[in-house]
Amino acid sequence: MRNLLEITDFTTQEIDDLIALALDIIAKPEKYSEHCKGKKLATLFYEPSTRTRLSFVAAMMELGGNVLGFSDAAASSVSKGESVADTVRTVECFADIIAMRHNKEGAPFLAAQYANVPIINAGDGGHCHPTQTLTDLLTIFREKGTFDNLTIGFCGDLKFGRTVHSLAKAMGRYSGVKFVFISPNELKIPDYLRNELTRHCGLDPQSHKQQEIPAFAGMTETNSLENAMPELDILYMTRVQRERFENEDDYNRLKDSFILDIEKLKTAKKDMIILHPLPRVNEISTDVDNDPRALYFKQVLNGKYIRMALIDTLLRTKNKEQRTKTDEFVLCEKCKNPRCISSIEDVKPLYKILENGEKRCYYCDN
Ligand code: NCD
């Protein structure tokens, strides 16, 4: 464990260990209050954030460490045209660990090739968001006591919703888990993710070989929240990601696709839990907030605890060489995804070749 670029960088055992540590932090916070004394976290946020950035800051403060960084790239040398590679080589002179959020997919993967301090991906475009997944997993574990045999409905913008992509990869590694993907046709999960889940695989972080999922119970795709509701143990609502649309008319047409209200919850299980990474726009009506199944604000608090566990663990992991090696990836032509970091920066065009011959951009998975 050295960077957290995508959730599959961690084995399920490593995730279990982080959750156990977070639970210990919740039980005995004073024990950890000086764990990161003298250490500095840099938060490099090229994209807006409330919860993720502030929970990183609060987490480091509660560990006795300090924080520096920017919350608006316009106020940094990025506005003068500085690259991600140069920015991280600068910031690592001042900080022991970096959390980065970027609007381009794969930016933290690029940062990790240059940095000698751990890089945490705090959300890269519409690609992935592993620390939100850790937050979601801690919340699920605290409520359900297990990850096995759960049916989870993901509802809303599954195309650009990066939190969905990472959580699906993580949950797909547990036994007996079933996914119901609920979205309009235009906002279905990306093909690469569907292929990955269909092949019942995750990527082993060391070998990058596929690892078997014990008894992945499968997945369905639908555009009806009402039909899906009765079977769900977890309903994961998401916002339609306005900032990722190329055209405003499409956003306006799709933005009200799903609105969860008390009426729709009538057919839900009594112990179903409702999660949302937040911010919410209108996809959960505020009358749902008082329902005991609505856990999205508890989820926010869990985000601080799991980030404490993550920062503490990454800073304690001793590595001879921090930089991410990319030797096993193949040099190819430039990625054609306009949302990929390679569209704006001079990066080595690297690809992963999967066992079935499928070729995917190392940075953005397209
Ligand atoms: C999410 C994100 O930024 O992807 N928010 C978060 O980090 N808690 C979800 C969103 O913006 O819709």
Which domains are present in the chain?
7-129+301-316 (3.40.50.1370), 130-299 (3.40.50.1370)
Find the residues whose C-beta lies inside 6 A of ligand 1. Answer: 51-52, 123, 129, 132, 162-163, 239, 277-279
Q: Note the pLDDT of residue 326.
A: 80
Which residue would you say has higher pLDDT here, 210 or 346? 346
Nearest Cα neighbor of 98 from 139, 69, 63 is 69
Q: Note the pLDDT of residue 128.
A: 98
Residues 6+ apart with CB under 8 A from 361: 106, 335, 337, 340, 342, 349, 350, 351
200 has a pLDDT exceeding 60 = no
Which residue would you say has higher pLDDT here, 322 or 306? 306
Nearest Cα neighbor of 196 from 182, 181, 213, 183 is 213
**Residue 77 pLDDT class (50, 70, 90 cuts):** confident
Q: Express each pLDDT in 233-275 by its tens digit.
A: 999 999 999 999 999 999 999 999 999 999 999 999 999 999 9
Mean pLDDT value across the chain: 92
**Residue 170 pLDDT class (50, 70, 90 cuts):** very high
Percentage of residues in the chain having pLDDT higher than 90: 81
Best probe residue, ligand 1, of 120, 163, 239, 301 (max atoms within 8 Å of C-beta): 163
Q: Note the pLDDT of residue 323.
A: 74
Nearest Cα neighbor of 211 from 5, 10, 3 is 10
Q: Note the pLDDT of residue 218.
A: 85
CA of 321 to the centre of ligand 1 (A): 31
CA of 245 to the centre of ligand 1 (A): 15
Q: Note the pLDDT of residue 322.
A: 66
Q: What is the mean pLDDT of residues 81-108?
A: 96
201 has a pLDDT exceeding 50 = no
Question: What predicted TM-score, i.e. pTM, was given to this entire model?
Answer: 0.94
Q: What is the mean pLDDT of residues 212-226?
A: 80
Residues 6+ apart with CB under 8 A from 76: 70, 82, 87
Q: Note the pLDDT of residue 79.
A: 85
CA distance 7 to 59: 19
Q: What is the mean pLDDT of residues 16-30?
A: 98
CA distance 181 to 241: 16
